[in-house]
Amino acid sequence: MFKQILSKRAYSKAVGFQPKLDYTALSNHASAITQNMKARNHVTVDMTEFVRLNEKRLSLYNQLTALRSKRNEVSLATQAAKSKEARSVFIAEGQQIKAQVKRVQEDLSETEEGLLERGLRIPNETHGDSPVGPESQARVVKIVGTPRKEEEGLKDHVEIAQGLNILDLEQAAVASGSSFYYLQGMGAFLEMALVQYAMHKAASRGFMGVMTPDIVRTQLAYGCGFQPKRGESSQIYGISEDQCLAGTAEIPLAGKFATRLLNEEELPQKLVGFGHAFRTEAGGRGLTTKGLYRVHQFSKVELFAVTTHAQSEEMMAQILKLQEDIFTDLGLCFRILDMPTEELGASAYRKFDMEAWMPGRGTWGEISSTSNCTDYQSRRLSIRYRPKYQTGDQHTRFCHTLNGTAMAVPRMIIAILETFQRKDGSVEIPRVLRKWLPGEPSHLFV
* Of 56, 145, 136, 68, residue with least CA distance to 101: 68
Assess whether 53 and 165 both reside in one domain.
Answer: no
Angle at 243 between CA 240 and CA 249, to 5 degrees: 140
Distances (CA, A) of 271 to 248, 321, 322, 402: 14, 16, 13, 10
Radius of gyration of the chain (CA): 27
Assess whether 221 and 338 both reside in one domain.
Answer: yes
29 CB neighbour count, 10 Å cutoff: 16
Assess whether 392 and 424 both reside in one domain.
Answer: yes
Quick one: pLDDT at residue 57? 96
Assess whether 110 and 241 both reside in one domain.
Answer: no
Quick one: pLDDT at residue 78? 84
Assess whether 350 and 202 both reside in one domain.
Answer: yes
Quick one: pLDDT at residue 395? 83
Query: 203 in a domain, yes or no?
Result: yes
Continuous segment of H or E residues that includes residue 131 = none
**Residue 161's domain spans which residues?**
135-445
**Residues 188, 191, 193, 196, CA torsion sign:** negative
DSSP-derived pairing of the beta strands 167-168 and 182-183: antiparallel
Domain termination residue (choose one: 86, 119, 152): 119
Q: What is the largest CA-CA distance in the chain?
A: 107
Q: How far apart are CA 172 and CA 99, in angstroms?
A: 64
Q: Is the Cβ–Cβ distance between 87 and 81 less than 8 Å?
A: yes
Assess whether 406 and 441 both reside in one domain.
Answer: yes
Domain termination residue (choose one: 119, 152, 186): 119
Q: Is the Cβ–Cβ distance between 346 and 227 less than 8 Å?
A: yes
CB environment 423-433: b (16+ within 10 A), e (fewer): eeebbebbebb
Q: Is the Cβ–Cβ distance between 167 and 161 less than 8 Å?
A: yes
* Of 282, 269, 271, residue with least CA distance to 232: 282
**Residues 319, 324, 325, 326, CA torsion sign:** positive
Assess whether 184 and 91 both reside in one domain.
Answer: no
Query: 129 in a domain, yes or no?
Result: no
Query: 125 in a domain, yes or no?
Result: no
Quick one: pLDDT at residue 5? 42
Quick one: pLDDT at residue 342? 95
Q: What are the residue ranges of helices labelled H in 81-128? A: 84-119
pLDDT digits (tens, 9 = 90+) for 105-133: 999 999 999 999 999 999 999 999 999 99
DSSP single-letter state for residue 145: S
Domain termination residue (choose one: 91, 119, 147): 119
Assess whether 233 and 333 both reside in one domain.
Answer: yes
Q: Is the Cβ–Cβ distance between 334 and 416 less than 8 Å?
A: no
Query: 124 in a domain, yes or no?
Result: no
Assess whether 239 and 318 both reside in one domain.
Answer: yes
Assess whether 77 and 141 both reside in one domain.
Answer: no
The DSSP bridge partners found for residue 160 are none
Assess whether 267 and 408 both reside in one domain.
Answer: yes
173 CB neighbour count, 10 Å cutoff: 13
Query: 128 in a domain, yes or no?
Result: no
- Residue numbers of the chain with a pLDDT score lower than 50: 1-8, 11, 14, 284
Assess whether 67 and 176 both reside in one domain.
Answer: no
Quick one: pLDDT at residue 212? 97
Q: How far apart are CA 219 and CA 238, in angstroms?
A: 11
Q: Is the Cβ–Cβ distance between 333 and 125 less than 8 Å?
A: no
Query: 390 in a domain, yes or no?
Result: yes
Query: 270 in a domain, yes or no?
Result: yes
CATH code where residue 204 lies = 3.30.930.10
DSSP 23-78: HHHHHHTHHHHHHHHHHHTPPPP-HHHHHHHHHHHHHHHHHHHHHHHHHHHHHHHH
CATH code where residue 50 lies = 1.10.287.40
Q: Quick check: pTM over 0.85?
A: yes
Query: 126 in a domain, yes or no?
Result: no
Overall domain count for the chain = 2
